[in-house]
Amino acid sequence: MSNYYDPKDLKKFTAISEWNKELGTKFFDYYSSVFEDGALSAREKSLIALAVAHTEQCPYCIDAYTKDALERGITKEEMMEAIHAGAAIKSGASLVHGVQMMNKVNKLEM
Amino acid sequence: MKLTSLLKRNNKLAETAEQFKYLNGAIFQNGELPYFNEKLKACQKFPLKSSEIEILQINLGYMCNQVCAHCHVDAGPDRKEIMTKETLIDCLKVIKSCKIKTIDLTGGAPEMNPNFRWFVEEASKIGVADFIVRSNLTIIRANKSYFDLPNFFKKHNIHVVSSMPHWTKGKTDKQRGDGVFEKSIEALIDLNNIGYGKSDTNLKLDLVYNPSGAFLPSNQKDLEKEFKKVLFEKFGISFNNLFAITNLPVSRFLEYLIRSDNYEDYMHTLVESFNPNAADQVMCKNTISVGWDGNLYDCDFNQMLNLKINSSHNHIANFNPEKLSDRNIAISQHCYGCTAGSGSSCQGSIT
pLDDT digits 0-9 by tens, B143-168: 899 999 999 999 999 999 999 888 98
pLDDT above 90 (res B99)? no
Q: Give one word for A36, left, alpha or beta, with left for phi > 0 and alpha for psi -120 to 50.
A: beta
Please report, for residues B26, B29, B219, B264, the alpha-carbon distance to residue B34 in angstroms, rounded to integers and kept in the order given. 11, 9, 26, 13
Split at pLDDT 50, 70, 90, the class of B71 is very high
Report yes or no: A65 and A55 within 8 Å, Cβ to Cβ.
no
Where in chain A are the domains? 13-108
- The C-alpha atoms of residue B175 and residue B178 are separated, in whole angstroms, by 9
Report yes or no: B341 and B47 within 8 Å, Cβ to Cβ.
no
Residue B217 has its nearest CB partner, among A43, A71, A76, at A71
- The C-alpha atoms of residue A27 and residue A25 are separated, in whole angstroms, by 5
**B287-327 residue pLDDT tens:** 999 999 999 999 999 999 999 999 999 999 999 999 999 99
Strands (E), chain B: 55-59, 102-106, 130-134, 159-163, 205-209, 242-244, 287-290, 296-297
Residue B215 has its nearest CB partner, among A11, A70, A76, at A70
> Looking at residues A79-95, what average pLDDT do you find?
98
Q: Which residue of B has its CA nearest to A72?
A: B218
Q: What pLDDT is attached to residue A18?
A: 97
DSSP string, A25-81: HHHHHHHHHHTSSSSS-HHHHHHHHHHHHHHTT-HHHHHHHHHHHHHTT--HHHHHH
Q: What pLDDT is attached to residue B1?
A: 63
Query: Percentage of residues in chain A with pLDDT exceeding 70?
Result: 99
Q: What pLDDT is attached to residue B174?
A: 86
What is the sign of the dihedral through the CA atoms of B133, B138, B141 and B142?
negative
- The C-alpha atoms of residue B75 and residue B73 are separated, in whole angstroms, by 5
- The C-alpha atoms of residue B160 and residue B171 are separated, in whole angstroms, by 22
Q: Do A73 and B223 touch (CB under 8 A)?
A: yes
User: Which of B100, B78, B99, B71 minimizes the C-alpha distance to B13?
Assistant: B71
User: B253 to chain A nearest CA, in Å?
Assistant: 17
Q: Do B218 and A11 touch (CB under 8 A)?
A: no
pLDDT above 80 (res B344)? yes
What is the sign of the dihedral through the CA atoms of B123, B207, B190 and B203?
positive
Burial-class residue B162 by CB neighbours within 10 Å (0-12, 13-18, 19+).
Answer: buried
Query: Percentage of residues in chain B with pLDDT exceeding 90?
Result: 89
Please report residues of A whose CB lies closer than 8 A to that of B217: 71
The rounded mean pLDDT for chain B is 95
User: Which of B186, B203, B109 minimizes the C-alpha distance to B152?
Assistant: B203
User: A27 to chain B nearest CA, in Å?
Assistant: 20
- The C-alpha atoms of residue B204 and residue A42 are separated, in whole angstroms, by 29
Interface size between A and B, measured as CB pairs under 8 A: 31
Q: Do B222 and A67 touch (CB under 8 A)?
A: no
Q: How far is CA B141 from the centre of its chain?
A: 21
Report yes or no: B321 and B296 within 8 Å, Cβ to Cβ.
no
pLDDT above 80 (res A1)? no
Residue B211 has its nearest CB partner, among A11, A41, A71, at A71
| CA-based end-to-end distance of chain A | 55
- The C-alpha atoms of residue B135 and residue B110 are separated, in whole angstroms, by 7
User: Which of B98, B159, B142 minimizes the C-alpha distance to B316?
Assistant: B98
**What angle do helix axes A59-71 and A76-108 make, rounded to 10 degrees?**
140
What is the fold of A13-108?
AhpD-like (1.20.1290)
**B203-226 residue pLDDT tens:** 999 999 999 999 999 999 999 999
pLDDT above 70 (res B194)? yes
Please report residues of B whose CB lies closer than 8 A to that of A72: 218, 222-223, 226
Model-level pTM greater than 0.95?
A: no
- Under 8 Å CB-to-CB from A100, ≥6 apart: which residues? none
CATH of domain B12-339: 3.20.20
> Looking at residues B89-116, what average pLDDT do you find?
96
- Under 8 Å CB-to-CB from B106, ≥6 apart: which residues? B57, B58, B59, B60, B134, B300, B346
Q: What pLDDT is attached to residue B215?
A: 96
Residues B54, B76, B335, B342, Cα dihedral to 10°: -70
Q: What pLDDT is attached to residue B171?
A: 86
pLDDT above 90 (res A3)? no
Query: Percentage of residues in chain B with pLDDT exceeding 70?
Result: 100
- The C-alpha atoms of residue A82 and residue A59 are separated, in whole angstroms, by 16
- The C-alpha atoms of residue B309 and residue B271 are separated, in whole angstroms, by 24
> Looking at residues B239-248, what average pLDDT do you find?
96
Where in chain B are the domains? 12-339
Q: What pLDDT is attached to residue B347?
A: 83
